[in-house]
Each structure stands twice: as structure tokens, then as C-alpha cells.
Amino acid sequence: MTKISLLGKVALITGASSGIGRATSILFSNLGANLALCGRNAENLNETAEQCRQNDVQVLTLQGDVTNTDSINMFMDKTLNKFNRLDSLVNNAGRIATGTIETTKLCDLDDMMDINLRSLFQLTQLAVPHLTKTQGNVVNISSICGSKSFPGVLAYCVSKAAVDQFTKCVALELAEKKIRVNCVNPGTIVTELHKRGGLNEQAYREFLEKAKLAHPLGRPGMADEIAQTIAFLASDASSFITGVTVPVDGGRHAVSPR
């Protein structure tokens, strides 16, 4: 039986300064991975890095915006300059925003697609030659909104559905290179994502209460629970898995409206 281990591996993780990205970074360091951590907030990014370094791994912090082409090129260049290899790319950075077909501006749709899809495309494209050498892997972070339809978050749902399709297509294209490409689809997770998307404290509390009813397990999830699945897909324990979208959502994907 292959145990989950990332000992000696090098992982590049976007959105590492908070939430799922931070939890994933810390878990990867616990499992022995050296890390290139990318994010916009330097202070939060350094806090994540310090927690990871406690596990005696090498950590490179890279401040930048995944919607900026120069930043993305810098992420990859500095990672390779530091570690001279790449085993796992975790495309985690993303955001959510409310809006319907009547209220979403075209620029809002463009912004959502830039961060939730275009950044994945560019980073994955840059990573392929290096992942080919290590027979590495890509783990994309999507959402339950990629597979189920919800009103009021149109651009977000469309962008995450695109991530799911991107994952499957690229997995087929890179299979002959022995590069695995998979996707994790979280349900409602307790992070700052929804507050940054526009919910105030009261609205967020109400949102989490509704999540108890929406998820069959009776609660929202925690970032650490998503990180566990990401680590599994990035490790050799999932060596025969590619092209999957894994719901980690307390059963919400299986719920049918009544």
C-alpha cells in the first residue's frame, strides 16, 4: 500500500496566503514537500511560509497576481531557478462574485474568467515541460458550482464549469507524457472567499447556517478537509487517477431538488 507522501517533491501552489491554499501548503510541508507559495498579500503569504518552514522544508514566497501574465511567468521562472524541478502544480487561486444575467457586466465576466480559468491555462502550459521530466501532476481547485447550477452566481458557475472541462481535456492530452491532471470540487467551505465576494458578516453567518441544510452531512466543510484530497491527488497514492473531478462537499453533489 502506498502511503501519502510528498517527501522531496516540489509543489507550486497559487492562492497560498489564506483558506484552502494555506491549508494545502501546510499539509504539503507536513508531507515533506518543498514549496513555491504564490499570493497577492505578502504579509499573509509570509505567515503561511513560516508555518510551513516549521516542518523543515524549503519554502519560496512569490508575491504577485495570477491575472497578470508577468506575475505568472515570474512564478514559474523563480520556482525553477530555486528548485530546478516541479512535481506538482496546485491551481488554487480564485474568487467568487454574485451576479445574474441581468446584473453581470461583461467586464465582471472577463475578470472572473481571468482569475478562475485563464491563470490555470497559462500556468499549466508553462508547467508541462517540467512536469514531463518528473512525470508530475496538476491539481485544479474548482467548485460544486462547476457541476451543479445555482442562480445568482452566474459568472462563477460558468468559470468553474470551464475548470472542470479544462481538467478533463488536459488530462487526456498529457496522459501520454504520464502527467496526471485532476480536480477537486469543494462545497461550502469556511474561508474568507464569500466575504471577499461581497457578503457582510451577517449575510455570511446566514449563509453558513443554510449550508447545514444544503449539505447532507449537516455542516459546511473546513479548508483542511479539502487539503487532504488535494494531497492525495498530488501524491503517488493516486498514481492511476487522472481526469477526475472529485466532489468534497458533504454529499451536496448528490442532492436532487424536491
Amino acid at 158: V
Under the banding of pLDDT at 50, 70 and 90, the label for residue 160 is: very high
Q: Which helix (H) or strand (E) holds 247?
A: strand 245-248
The mean pLDDT value of the chain amounts to: 92
pLDDT (average), residues 215-240 = 93
pLDDT (average), residues 67-71 = 96
Tens digit of pLDDT for each residue in 120-156? 999 999 999 999 999 999 999 999 999 988 899 999 9
Amino acid at 3: K
Q: What is the CATH number of domain 10-246?
A: 3.40.50.720
What residues are paired with 39 via a beta bridge? Answer: 63
In this structure, the dihedral spanned by the alpha carbons of residues 164, 26, 194 and 170, taken in order and rounded to 10 degrees, is -10
Tens digit of pLDDT for each residue in 34-56? 999 999 999 999 999 999 999 99
pLDDT over threshold 90, residue 190: no
| Portion of the chain with pLDDT greater than 70, in percent | 93
Amino acid at 175: A
Tens digit of pLDDT for each residue in 25-34? 999 999 999 9
Determine contact, residues 47/24, Cβ cutoff 8 Å: no
Parse the chain into domains and list their residue ranges.
Answer: 10-246
pLDDT over threshold 70, residue 194: no
Instruction: Give me the active site residues, please.
Output: 156
**Closest-CA residue to 145 (of 13, 243, 231, 252):** 252
- pTM, 2 dp: 0.92
- Contacts by 123-126, CB closer than 8 A, 24 or more apart: 123/12, 123/14, 123/66, 123/72, 123/75, 123/76, 123/89, 123/91, 124/89, 124/91, 124/170, 124/181, 126/72, 126/73, 126/76
